[in-house]
C-alpha cells in the first residue's frame, strides 16, 4: 500500500460512522463495503490530505490514483481516488495519456456513481482539448462493456451549446434499442440535458426515433420540455 493510501484509509477510519455503513452499502447495491463516511465529510478529508500531498508529475499522479483505487477495501477510498483525479493541479494532465487510467476505473468500477463522474467531468475535459477523443468515444459507444457505452453517451453532459450533436447521436445510436436500464437512462439523461439548450431539437430527435427509443428514455428526454 502506498503512503497516500495508508493516510487516506487512516483518515477515513477516523471519521467513519459504522452504523451508517450498511444503509449506504444497501442503497448503492455495492459489493464493496462502506466505512460510513458521508460525501461532504469524505471530500473534506480528501481536501485536507491533498493540501500536503505533492503532485510532482502526471505519471506519479496517475500511479497514486491507481494505487488508491486498486488497493481500496472500502468504497469511500475509491471516492477519494476520484477526488484526486479532479485535483486542480492536475488540470493540464487531463489528456489522452490519462485515458487508460479512466478506462480502468470505468471498467473495474462498473457502477453509475463512479462512471457518471468520470464521464462528465474527466472524459469531457479531455474531449474539450483532444480532437482524437471523438474517434475514441465513437469506438467506446460500440463496446461490449455497457459502462464504456454509458460513459461515451454522457461525456458531453456539461457542454450545453458546445455539444457536438453528431458525436452525441453517434454515441447514442449503438445503444438506442438496448434493454439495459443504465443505457436507456443514460440516453434519456443526455437528451434531457441538451434540451435545456435546444428543446426543439430534442423533441425532433425523439419524434424521429419514436419507434426505437424506450418509454423510459423518452420520458427522461422530455421530462422538462414536454412533447
Q: How far is 42 from 149, CA to CA, in rounded Å? A: 28
Q: Exposed/middle/buried for 14, CB within 10 Å: 0-12, 13-18, 19+?
A: exposed
Query: For the domain with range 102-227, which CATH number is right: 2.40.370.10, 3.50.30.20, 3.30.110.30, 1.25.10.90?
Result: 1.25.10.90
Nearest Cα to Cα of residue 161 among 123, 116, 205, 195: 195
Are the folds of 1-93 and 102-227 the same? yes
**pLDDT of 60-74, one tens digit each?**
999 999 999 999 999
Q: What is the mean pLDDT of residues 31-60?
A: 95
Could you tell me the residue ranges of all domains in the chain?
A: 1-93, 102-227
**pLDDT of 85-126, one tens digit each?**
999 999 999 999 999 999 999 999 999 999 999 999 999 999
Written as nine digits, the cell of 16 is: 467513519
The CATH class that applies to domain 1-93 reads mainly alpha
Residue with cell 483532444: 130
Q: What's the sign of the alpha-carbon dihedral 156, 157, 162, 168?
A: positive
Q: Report the pLDDT value the prediction gives residue 189, as an integer from 0 to 100.
A: 97
Amino acid at each position: 500500500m502506498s503512503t497516500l493510501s495508508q493516510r487516506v484509509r487512516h483518515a477515513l477510519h477516523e471519521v467513519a460512522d459504522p452504523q451508517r455503513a450498511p444503509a449506504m452499502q444497501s442503497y448503492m447495491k455495492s459489493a464493496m463495503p462502506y466505512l460510513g463516511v458521508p460525501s461532504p465529510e469524505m471530500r473534506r478529508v480528501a481536501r485536507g490530505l491533498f493540501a500536503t500531498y505533492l503532485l510532482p508529475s502526471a505519471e506519479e499522479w496517475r500511479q497514486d490514483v491507481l494505487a488508491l483505487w486498486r488497493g481500496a477495501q472500502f468504497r469511500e477510498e475509491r471516492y477519494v481516488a476520484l477526488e484526486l483525479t479532479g485535483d486542480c493541479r492536475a488540470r493540464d494532465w487531463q489528456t489522452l495519456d490519462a485515458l487508460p487510467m479512466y478506462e480502468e476505473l470505468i471498467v473495474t468500477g462498473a457502477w453509475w456513481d463512479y462512471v457518471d463522474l468520470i464521464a462528465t467531468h474527466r472524459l469531457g475535459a479531455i474531449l474539450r482539448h483532444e480532437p482524437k477523443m471523438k474517434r475514441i468515444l465513437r469506438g467506446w459507444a460500440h463496446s461490449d462493456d455497457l459502462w464504456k457505452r454509458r460513459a461515451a453517451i454522457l461525456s458531453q453532459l456539461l457542454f450545453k451549446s458546445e455539444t457536438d450533436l453528431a458525436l452525441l447521436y453517434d454515441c447514442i445510436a449503438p445503444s438506442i434499442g438496448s434493454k439495459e436500464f443504465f443505457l436507456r437512462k443514460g440516453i434519456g439523461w443526455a437528451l434531457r440535458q441538451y434540451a435545456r439548450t435546444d428543446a426543439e431539437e430534442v423533441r425532433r430527435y425523439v419524434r424521429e426515433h419514436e419507434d426505437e427509443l424506450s418509454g423510459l428514455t423518452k420520458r427522461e428526454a422530455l421530462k422538462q420540455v414536454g412533447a
